[in-house]
Amino acid sequence: MVRNRGYDRDRGNGRDVTIDERMKDALHSDCTRYALGIEIICVRVTKSTILDIIRQKYEQMEEERTKVTSRSSIDAIALKAIKKQRVVEKEPETLKKIAISDAEKKSLVSKIIMEQKLMEKESARRPQ
C-alpha cells in the first residue's frame, strides 16, 4: 500500500481506493455478517480541525519535551565525563597503595626469612 493525501493505491488491482470507500466496505461487511438488513450506502470521513490554541499548546509541550530530553542527554554525557575524570584522578592513588602493600609484604617476608636464618644459626651453635 502506498498512502498519499487520503488515497491508498491498492497494488493488487491497480485502482485508487479512498479511506471513505475502505471504511464503507468494512462497515458493510460487518453489518452483512452480524446485523442482517442494515446496508451501508455511504461513509464520509472528515479531517478534524484542531483549534489554534490547542495546536500551539501541543507544539509548546513538544518543544519543552525535546528540550528536557536534550538536557538529559547533555547531563548524562557530563556525568560520564565527571566519573571518568574521578577514575583518572584515583588511579595514581590506587597504584601507590598497591605499591605500598607490595613493599610491606616483601618486608614481612624478608623479616621472616631473616628470623629463620638467625634461628638456624643459633640452633647450629648450640651443642646437642
Q: What is the pLDDT along the chain (128 residues), one digit of tens a residue?
A: 444 445 455 544 545 568 888 888 888 888 888 877 888 888 887 777 888 888 899 899 998 888 877 878 888 888 899 999 999 999 999 999 999 999 999 999 999 999 999 999 988 887 76
For residue 17, count other CB atoms closer than 10 A to its CB: 14
> What region, left, alpha or beta, does residue 35 occupy, with left being phi > 0 and alpha being psi -120 to 50 degrees?
beta
Query: Largest Cα–Cα distance of the chain, in whole Å?
Result: 127
For residue 121, count other CB atoms closer than 10 A to its CB: 9
